[in-house]
A and B are shown apart, each in its own frame.
Chain A
Amino acid sequence: MPSLRDVAKDLATAHRRADSATNEVKFFPDASKDEVCLLEVSAAAPTTGEIMPFRFRADMASGVSYPSVVILVSPREWQDIQAGKLALPGGWDLTAAEDL
């Protein structure tokens, strides 16, 4: 069974390929023990001013062994997150996040 981190890396690669406007992918290893938690910054995302996590189910057939939660933000929203103006869900600790 691959680790959450392994699946996170695979997802990051796949998501970058699918959306070439994705310029940052952060993995939050401590946010959940059984879900891959990713924050992705894409210039293709509209700036809504909201954090809207979206949950995908696991897809064993495609090698995605865990459910995943993706927070997609625009570059402007990413700036607001870094500036503390936009809050991530509880447990999503930016200081512990890993670049993928």
Chain B
Amino acid sequence: MPTAPRDWSDPFLEQAREDLKAAWALPPDTSPSTLCMLLQMVFEKLAKAAYARSGFVVPRTHQAASHLFVILLRHPAGAAILQASPNVQQFVLELEAAQPAIAGRQPQPCPQLEYPWEDPVRNMVRYPARDLPLARRRPVSQREERRAPDPAQGIPRRARKRGRHVRERRHHAREPVVIFSHYERTGFPSRITSAAIAAARARAANAAIA
């Protein structure tokens, strides 16, 4: 008996979890580009799990996550989640745009995950560990985390002096958890949500937006 699309949902979810475990297990000195590559894989598989669960098809596209975002706009709770977290959404979209099959269709040079790419303007070959803009964003240190403001309690004086980027980093570190918790309450499969929360936490801890 052939498999049905729905049969693919849990396997996609489980594989996303394994990719996520790999992301969590990366040694601290690993290039952030590797983390970005793994997170892109996680979110793509999570989105495919969601579509497969609908029971019609198993998407082959690498743009499942961005497609899902536009779908979510149509649900009041989904829209609230996305609007509350434009930066997380933007991060996932940027990851997706850097997926090699997607980036390869864009005008070059176009930075991508996983593989080197040619920069015909400078006549050189670039590679993610050194040249991927997403991966060159500075990680958040624990010290900065402690100094950064708690949105509920206002902005400490020292953080205020450090300027906008510190406040934003702190905001990004909290945001994904809130977002996906909301999502969970709206009926999105909770196991997918849990994995997404973990992915977002990994991203916040290791590659927060500077």
Contacts and interface: CB of A to CB of B under 8 A. Distances in A.
Interface in A20-46: 40, 42, 44-46
Contacts of B163: none
B54 interface: yes
A69 B53 CA distance: 12
Interface of B: 50-51, 53-57, 59-61, 63-64, 66-68, 70-71, 73-76, 79, 187
Interface of A: 11, 14-15, 18-19, 40, 42, 44-46, 48-57, 62, 69-70, 72, 89
Contacts of A52: 51, 56-57, 59, 61, 64, 67
A88 to B, nearest CB: 10
A55 B79 CA distance: 16
Given A52-B57, A55-B54, A55-B55, A46 B67 contact: yes
Given A52-B67, A55-B54, A19 B60 contact: no
Nearest to B62: A48
A19 B67 contact: no
A19 B73 contact: yes
Contacts of A57: 187
A14 B70 contact: no
Nearest to A57: B187
A46 B68 CA distance: 10
Contact of A56 (B51, B70, B75): B75
Nearest to A22: B74
Contact of B54 (A11, A48, A53): A53
A72 B57 contact: no
Contacts of B63: 46, 48
Contacts of B60: 50
A48 B66 CA distance: 10
